[in-house]
């Protein structure tokens, strides 16, 4: 049987390279569909944890992970030789940027090099890491073709970007439509067939480049629209008397042609903040300036500074200096109900306040038990009314759903709310300073 027939007959096996927020849910989804799945990761802690039946991604159930491991359907390893036993190999490794905000595709290169060493023929490699157009054909394909193999003949290659939204209770791996573009029409067909085993709707496009660009468009779209509301939120605060959150909610009642985006303390995570830079970097090679990307980044990256100023303004009205002021941060993860700290705007706010001289910052976040700020470890403090009462300023940087906002406001002296988390709090509104609230 050829690869396409094996996939359609569900007689194939999968390897997922990179078992993080993207790779582990994908691997588990294949395993629960009774497809033998290998998970490969270079992080020994992740491999050990999974081998012991322990899950570390909040969005997947612990029982599901231990079940597929016990039934032998999922096996974690740091050994790439399992690639030889796999028919479809997904690459889900990080794509960060460098200190100068240039793409770092070194993880993709390493993963492709290791995969190439173990290819046996008639396999399909699907890159899922978000990256700039031409990564699949320009960088991954030559590595896989080393030794005389030919794409479309000896192996198949496609790009199929990930759309997982950690913390989203409605849309997950299986029910979120996904795009796929192969190097040849057969590559597309095979990669789409593999995706269809676990994903309800798979959209085929004409090339990996279209799929790579499509993913960047998704994230740039978000970045630009968030920047727009962030800028207007600052204008509302400058003018006074208009609450930007109310404005967005009112506009969102239009049933067509509008999609709501909300202001906030800045954007974080592994996607919206980073991915636009992948395209602006590539555009430079073509003497092209991606103005929307640059402008959106400028506005969004200024938001933690805006929050810092909101905090300093409040402290200026108190009989304490920034050095002595007790600042209590609620929520440090980059968004609601996730444990992901990567590029979190809350961390940036804490850094900026520390640079301004603040020495007494603490945080509450049940998702993030500890973090590092300027090389020093900090631990989350458990919530108590006394803790809130003792703070000079409370800052809500992430609106986790396990916070009791009524109680926080009732006990706080001053609350800076960057997420409209206190929207439904009726008592004590005079203590709340809402970002974009127009106060």
Among all residues, which ones are annotated catalytic? 271
| Segment near ligand NAD (CB under 6 A); pick from 18-26, 59-67, 260-268, 318-326 | 18-26
Decide whether 261 or 433 has the Cβ nearer to ligand NAD: 261
Give the integer Cα–Cα distance in Å for 109 and 91: 10
Q: Given the complex with ligand NAD, which of 11 and 78 has the nearer CB atom?
A: 78
Select from 47-55, 68-76, 147-155, 159-167 the region that touches ligand NAD (CB under 6 A).
159-167
Which of 31, 47, 88, 111 binds ligand NAD (CB under 6 A)? It is 111
Residue closer to ligand NAD by CB (options 46, 419) is: 46
Neighbours of 294 (CB within 10 A): 13
For residue 321, the tally of other CB atoms under 10 A from its CB is: 12
Reference 290, options 272, 274, 277, 300; nearest CA is 277
CA–CA gap between residue 233 and residue 22 (Å, rounded) = 33
Q: Tell how many helices (H) and how many strands (E) occur in the chain.
A: 15, 15
Nearest approach, Cβ of residue 141 and ligand NAD (Å): 17
Name the maximum alpha-carbon separation found in the chain: 78
Of the CA atoms within 13 Å of residue 276, those in its CB half-sphere come to 26
Q: Is 285 exposed, middle or buried (0-12, 13-18, 19+ CB in 10 A)?
A: exposed
Shorter beta-carbon distance to ligand NAD: residue 80 or 306: 80
The angle formed by the CA atoms of residues 218, 222 and 224, to the nearest 5 degrees, is 115
Q: Is residue 77 involved in binding ligand NAD (CB under 6 A)? A: no
In angstroms, rounded to a whole number, what is the distance separating the alpha carbons of residues 433 and 437? Answer: 7
> Site for ligand NAD (CB under 6 A): which residue of 4, 88, 93, 315?
93
How many residues bind ligand NAD, per CB under 6 A?
Answer: 27
Specify the stretch interacting with ligand NAD by CB under 6 A; choose among 15-23, 181-189, 198-206, 246-254: 15-23
Burial class (CB in 10 A: 0-12, 13-18, 19+), 308: buried
Smaller CB distance to ligand NAD: residue 113 or 324?
A: 113
Binding mask 32-71 for ligand NAD (x = CB under 6 A): --------xxxx--x-------------------------
Q: Which of 13, 37, 55, 95 is the binder for ligand NAD (CB under 6 A)? A: 95
Quick one: which of 337, 345, 393, 389 has its CA closest to 365? 337
166 contacts ligand NAD (rule: CB under 6 A):
yes
Tell me how far, at minimum, the Cβ of 218 lies from ligand NAD, in Å. Answer: 9
Check binding of 213 to ligand NAD (CB under 6 A): no
Answer positive or negative: Cα dihedral of 388, 394, 400, 404. Answer: positive
With CB under 6 A as the contact rule, the residue among 19, 35, 191, 396 that binds ligand NAD is 19
**CB-based contacts of 38, cutoff 8 Å, min separation 6:** 13, 14, 15, 16, 74, 75, 76, 77, 82, 85, 86
Interatomic CA distance for residues 50 and 294, integer angstroms: 40
279 contacts 220 by C-beta, under 8 angstroms: yes
Establish if 130 lies at the interface with ligand NAD (CB under 6 A).
yes
Could you tell me which of 57, 47, 53 has the C-alpha nearest to residue 72? 53
Minimum Å distance from CB 159 to ligand NAD? Answer: 11
CB of 209: closest distance to ligand NAD in angstroms? Answer: 17
107 touches ligand NAD by CB under 6 A: yes
Q: According to the binding rule CB under 6 A, does residue 23 interact with ligand NAD?
A: yes
By CB under 6 A, tell whether 385 contacts ligand NAD: no
Task: State the minimum distance, in angstroms, from the CB of residue 336 to ligand NAD.
Answer: 14
3-class SS shares of the chain: helix, strand, coil, % to 5: 40, 15, 45
- Is 92 an interacting residue with respect to ligand NAD (CB under 6 A)? yes
Q: At 376, phi and psi to the nearest 5? A: -105, 135
Q: Is 162 in the site for ligand NAD (CB under 6 A)?
A: yes
Which residue lies nearest ligand NAD, judged by its C-beta? 20
CB of 93 to ligand NAD, least distance (A): 4
The site string for ligand NAD over 268-297 (x = CB under 6 A, - otherwise) reads --xx--------------------------
Radius of gyration, CA atoms only, the chain = 24
Interface ranges with ligand NAD (CB under 6 A): 17-23, 40-43, 46, 92-95, 107, 110-111, 128-130, 162, 164, 166, 270-271
């Amino acid at each position: 049987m050829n690869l396409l027939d094996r996939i359609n007959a569900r007689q194939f096996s999968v390897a997922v390279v990179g078992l993080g927020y993207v790779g582990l849910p994908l691997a588990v989804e294949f395993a629960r569909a009774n497809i033998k799945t290998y998970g490969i990761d270079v992080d020994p802690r992740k491999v050990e944890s999974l081998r012991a039946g322990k899950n570390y991604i909040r969005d997947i159930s612990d029982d599901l992970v231990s079940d597929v491991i016990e039934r032998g359907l999922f096996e974690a390893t740091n050994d790439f030789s399992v690639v030889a036993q796999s028919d479809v190999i997904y690459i889900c490794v990080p794509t960060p940027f460098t200190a100068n905000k240039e793409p770092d595709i070194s993880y993709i290169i390493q993963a492709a090099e290791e995969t190439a060493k173990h290819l046996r023929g008639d396999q399909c490699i699907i890159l899922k890491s978000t990256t700039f157009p031409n990564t699949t054909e320009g960088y991954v394909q030559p590595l896989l073709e080393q030794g005389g193999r030919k794409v479309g003949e000896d192996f198949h290659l496609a790009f199929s970007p990930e759309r997982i939204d950690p913390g989203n209770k409605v849309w997950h791996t299986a029910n979120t439509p996904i795009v796929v573009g192969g190097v040849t029409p057969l590559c597309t067909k095979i990669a789409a067939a593999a995706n269809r085993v676990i994903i309800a709707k798979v959209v085929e496009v004409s090339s990996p480049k279209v799929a790579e660009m499509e993913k960047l468009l998704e994230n740039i779209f978000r970045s630009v629209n968030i920047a727009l509301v962030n800028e207007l939120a600052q204008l509302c605060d400058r003018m006074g008397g208009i609450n930007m959150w109310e404005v967005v909610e009112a506009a969102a009642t239009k049933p067509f042609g509008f999609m709501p985006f909300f202001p906030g303390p800045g954007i974080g995570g592994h996607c919206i903040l980073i991915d636009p830079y992948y395209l602006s970097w590539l555009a430079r090679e073509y003497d092209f300036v991606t103005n929307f990307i640059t402008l959106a980044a400028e506005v969004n990256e200024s938001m933690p500074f805006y929050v810092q100023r909101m905090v300093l303004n409040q402290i200026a009205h108190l009989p304490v200096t920034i050095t002595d002021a007790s600042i209590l941060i609620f929520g440090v993860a980059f968004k609601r109900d996730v444990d992901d700290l990567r590029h979190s705007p809350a961390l940036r706010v804490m850094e900026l306040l520390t640079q301004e001289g603040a020495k007494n910052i603490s945080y509450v976040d049940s998702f993030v038990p500890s973090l590092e700020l300027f090389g020093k470890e900090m631990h989350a403090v458990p919530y108590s009314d006394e803790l809130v009462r003792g703070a000079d300023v409370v800052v809500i940087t992430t609106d986790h759903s396990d916070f009791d906002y009524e109680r926080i406001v009732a006990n706080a002296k001053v609350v800076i709310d960057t997420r409209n988390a206190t929207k439904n709090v009726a008592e004590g509104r005079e203590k709340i300073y809402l970002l974009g609230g127009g106060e």
